Amino acid sequence: MGMAISLSELRENEAKTLLALKRSRGNAKVDELIKATELDESAVTRAILSLSNEALLTLKEKPIHLLRLTDEGRAYAELGLPETRLAKFSFDVGGKTSIREAFQKLNLPESMISIVVGWIQRKKLGRIARIGEEPYLEVDGKPAESDADGLLRSMLDKSEVNLENLTPENQRIVVELRKRKLVEETRRNDRLVELTANGWKKLENGVRVVSEVSSLTPELITSGKWRETKLRRYNITAPVAEVWPGKKQPYNRFLDELRLKLVTLGFQEMTGPIVEIMFFNCDSLFMPQDHPAREIHDIYFVKDPEYGKLDDYRSYLENVREAHENGWKTGSTGWNYEFSEKESARLVLRSHGTAISARTLISKNLKVPGKYFSIARCFRPEVTDRTHLTEFNQVEGIVVGENLTLRNLLGVLERFAVELAGADKVKFRPDYFPFTEPSVELSAYKEGYGWLEFGGSGIFRPELTLPLGINVPVLAWGLGVDRLFMMKNQIDDIRNLFTQDLQWIRRKEVK
């Protein structure tokens, strides 16, 4: 007489998961099971939990480290590391080149010269010599592509690379690339599922799928089939797939909150154009027309059209002209040069938010006393790194009224640093700006983050206010709102503020 074999009863999703594991020789990643069973993630997750509770399988998490190129790393992957390009350039022009001239030819920023020279010496790509004050690079032969260049290029067409899959030598190179901010690393856990001895035994005995329903339908009730139907039991503690609700980008949300907080403090918002004329961007601020900050390395000039119109500001323009040339009625001697109206009409991208303050001072809606602010997008030709971008936001403010003093200004700035950035301490130090006297620089400290410079402030000079028709003191400040957000959220790379990394955006808490 033969022995009867009893089939094990399993719910449909659990049976599919168990059979998929059998086809995978007893182990698989959760992602692989989702694909093999054609179930959604939440269904597979619930099935794994149920089977795990019955000791039919185990679920383990294995940490993995994923690498991706930064924007700077992607550029170097395409063109080569700057030290490699410099050494090749030197070889191509005869084995010796002026490093400064080579940087210009290769379109590399001169601010990186000392860094690149350091890598040249460390990698022994050539010899550094000096002729007078100029550094030169000498190479004996054509430099081979470095392992770091090769690794960057191999990552170019991949969205992510698993660190554990790299050779030990490439893993050592990754340490260097991380320090240079050319690759960034994220960590996640791979979930691995493995059949237990009990799971294999259940599969050997055979599996019978039990049909269950999750809800009663009108058809089941009217037909009477509900008496024969088995309802699915739910484990309300079972994990499900993560769901990310829609929300504002964290930095945009911060700007909205900042705007609301300033309004509640009694400030009115002031606005102005991004494409500005030099009259408001510099001239009305008593910045001389030969000031270095007005050069192309500090301001973006509009190519077409090059000039705007000054007709609406003619009366103020004449006052400003005289203030620049001889001091006008301000008690100053001015800058003693011939003021150029054509230069004043030059169109630029707004380089600081103070241009909006100048426009507000001549506005017919200005109230004295009054408090005003703007959150202004500004533009400057900067080398992009962890603390600088070519476009940035400034929170600009002015307070107009009689009997205002430096003490009032310092009180406002300290309150901003504490309430808006969560600073623990603030400090002030004297500074210089063409349009304020006295001038003060604000720095703030946050535990676990350190000191960070926020921006400048001061009291507008009479050479600025009187030509614009203002006869009372004006307190003014321009603070880096990007850095306010960085300190408050303990972010050490300004590029993260505008990141497209969905994981960072999704996981950023709504406070």
- Which of 228-237, 398-407, 448-457 is predicted with the least confidence, judged by mean pLDDT? 228-237
Domain spanning 8-62+189-231, CATH architecture: Orthogonal Bundle (1.10)
3-state secondary structure (DSSP) of residue 79: helix
State yes or no: pLDDT of 147 exceeds 60.
yes
Q: How far apart are the first and last CA of the chain?
A: 72
Q: Distance between CA atoms of 465 and 463, rounded to whole angstroms?
A: 6
The answer for 354, left when phi > 0, alpha when psi is -120 to 50, beta otherwise, is alpha
| Topology agreement, domain 8-62+189-231 and domain 251-273+350-507 | no
Strand pairing of 425-433 and 436-446? antiparallel
Mean pLDDT of the chain: 85
Q: Contact at 8 Å (CB) between 279 and 313?
A: yes
Q: Contact at 8 Å (CB) between 399 and 371?
A: yes
pLDDT (tens digit per residue) in 37-63: 888 888 888 888 888 888 888 888 878
- Most confidently predicted of 18-32, 41-55, 217-231, 323-337: 323-337
Higher pLDDT: 185 or 321? It is 321
Confidence of residue 224 (pLDDT cuts 50, 70, 90): confident
* Mean pLDDT of the region 485-506: 77
Compute the half-sphere exposure of residue 266: CA atoms within 13 Å on the CB side of its CA: 8
State yes or no: pLDDT of 165 exceeds 60.
yes
Beta bridge partners of residue 457, listed in sequence order: 440, 477
What per-residue confidence (pLDDT) applies to 238? Answer: 60
Beta bridge partners of residue 190, listed in sequence order: 62
**Three-state SS sequence of 460-480:** ECHHHHHHHCCCCCEEEEEEE
Q: In this structure, what token pair is assigned to residue 138?
A: 């000498």
Confidence of residue 341 (pLDDT cuts 50, 70, 90): very high
- Most confidently predicted of 191-205, 245-259, 393-407, 477-491: 393-407
In CATH, what number does 251-273+350-507 get? Answer: 3.30.930.10
State yes or no: pLDDT of 283 exceeds 90.
yes
Hey, what's the torsion of the CAs at 405, 408, 410, 413, to 10 degrees? Answer: -130
Confidence of residue 494 (pLDDT cuts 50, 70, 90): confident
Q: Distance between CA atoms of 138 and 125, rounded to whole angstroms?
A: 9
Q: Distance between CA atoms of 303 and 134, rounded to whole angstroms?
A: 34
Q: Spell out the alpha helix ranges (H) of 246-365.
A: 250-264, 278-281, 314-326, 341-344, 354-361
Beta bridge partners of residue 59, listed in sequence order: 193
Is the CATH number 3.30.365.10 carried by domain 71-184? no
pLDDT (tens digit per residue) in 66-83: 889 998 989 988 888 999
State yes or no: pLDDT of 7 exceeds 60.
no
Q: Contact at 8 Å (CB) between 134 and 98?
A: yes
Residue among 507, 495, 409 nearest 73 (CA): 495
Higher pLDDT: 116 or 216? It is 116
pLDDT (tens digit per residue) in 79-136: 889 999 989 998 888 888 898 888 888 888 888 888 888 888 888 888 888 887 788 8
Confidence of residue 392 (pLDDT cuts 50, 70, 90): confident
Q: Distance between CA atoms of 82 and 139, rounded to whole angstroms?
A: 15
Task: Give Rg (Cα) of the chain.
Answer: 33
What per-residue confidence (pLDDT) applies to 358? Answer: 95
Which phi and psi angles does 74 have, rounded to 5°? Answer: -65, -40
Would you kindly state where each structural domain of the chain is located, as residue ranges? 8-62+189-231, 71-184, 251-273+350-507
Q: Look at the chain and count its residues.
A: 511
In this structure, the number of other CB atoms found within 10 A of the CB of residue 307 comes to 14
Q: Cα 344 to chain center, whole Å?
A: 34
* Mean pLDDT of the region 339-364: 94
3-state secondary structure (DSSP) of residue 365: coil
* Mean pLDDT of the region 313-317: 94
What per-residue confidence (pLDDT) applies to 316? Answer: 95
Which residue, chain included where needed, has tokens 């609301």? Answer: 260
Q: Which pTM does this prediction carry?
A: 0.56
Confidence of residue 31 (pLDDT cuts 50, 70, 90): confident
| Strand blocks (E) in 102-195 | 127-131, 134-138, 161-162, 183-195
* Mean pLDDT of the region 279-287: 94
Beta bridge partners of residue 460, listed in sequence order: 436
3-state secondary structure (DSSP) of residue 494: helix
pLDDT (tens digit per residue) in 415-461: 878 877 778 888 998 988 888 999 999 888 888 777 877 778 999 99
What per-residue confidence (pLDDT) applies to 5? Answer: 36
CA of 491: how far to CAs of 393, 413, 484, 488, in Å? 16, 22, 10, 8
What per-residue confidence (pLDDT) applies to 6? Answer: 43
Q: Distance between CA atoms of 87 and 120, rounded to whole angstroms?
A: 8
Higher pLDDT: 483 or 152? It is 152
State yes or no: pLDDT of 1 exceeds 70.
no
